[in-house]
Amino acid sequence: MRDAAVDPLADYRRVNVLGTQGLARAAADAGVRRMIFLSSIKVNGEKTASKPYSEQDPPRPQDAYGVSKWEAEQMLRAIAADSHMEAVVLRPPLLYGPGVKGNFLGLMRVIDRGLPLPLASIHNRRSLLYIGSLIDAIMLCLNNPMAAGKTYLLADSEGVSTPDLIRGIASALRKPARLLPFPPALLKFAGALAGKTESVSRLLGSLQIDASSIRRELNWQPCADMARGLAETARWYHQHAH
């Protein structure tokens, strides 16, 4: 969100593509049976409209990070096809839980300070994923024969609107949710003036995920609902990041 690189795609490729390539080749040469690659839902795109993303949707990455993750997926598939190593790709959405960083932690701090947020008028739906549920999915994909060669999208059981997420975080932090009504069109205009178009777009837009494939094929279920996941995140926040 605050990328100052002259060529962001080159920087992302150096880590996400070339770094993964080196690791995958070393793993294949060492006889590793299966490699789990953590990709991103950004490979699918930035927002949904009529239906959630699924594994059947064609990749449409919109930024340098998403492009590099998609390129890394293809490179890993090629290495797996040319060796005895199996590859599994997981595409999670925004993660939260103990140790969370970035915009989610920033939002928690704003709510903890009691600052008002002009976001009550937003009507969207976004999928998130609790870190514990991601770990469970990784463990399943390490050993389940059905996972070999697959790509899976992951998400919590329920999606959430931006205002409801703020209310959930506030409840977990035992703070009031200070949400104010404000026209979304004016939020977009203010974001453009402030150079925060992408940030505002994420607050306003929907990004939903259909995670039914991994549930059906591997019997995976999120280990916690959002309320419990936010409670664990708030407990960590009070202990370490307050």
Active-site residue, 53 included: no
Q: Tens digit of pLDDT per residue, the chain (242 long)?
A: 456 677 889 999 999 999 999 999 999 999 999 999 999 999 999 999 889 999 999 999 999 999 999 999 999 999 999 999 999 999 999 999 999 998 899 999 999 999 999 999 999 999 999 999 999 999 999 999 999 999 999 999 989 999 999 999 999 999 999 999 999 898 888 888 888 888 888 889 999 999 999 999 999 999 999 999 999 999 999 998 76
- Minimal CA–CA distance to 67: which of 6, 25, 17, 103? 17
CA–CA distance, 107 with 85 (Å, rounded to integer): 40
Helix (H, G, I), strand (E, B) or coil at 223: coil
Query: Encoding tokens for residue 168?
Result: 């959930």
Provide the pLDDT for residue 201: 84
Domains in the chain, ordered, with CATH? 8-241 (3.40.50.720)
Catalytic residue, chosen from 65, 96, 130, 152, is 65
From the CB of residue 190, how many other CB atoms can be counted at a distance below 10 Å? 13
Q: Report pLDDT for 2.
A: 58
pLDDT at residue number 3: 62
For 67, the token pair is 């492009």
**Contact (Cβ atoms closer than 8 angstroms) between residue 221 and residue 132:** no
Residue 54's pLDDT is what?
Answer: 97
Report pLDDT for 76: 97
Amino acid letter, residue 36: I
* Beta-carbon count within 10 A of 23 CB: 15
The pTM of this model reads: 0.92
Say what the pLDDT of residue 242 is: 66
Q: Among 175, 177, 188, which residue's Cα sits nearest to residue 124?
A: 188
Instruction: Write down the pLDDT at residue 162.
Output: 96
Q: What pLDDT does residue 7 have?
A: 86
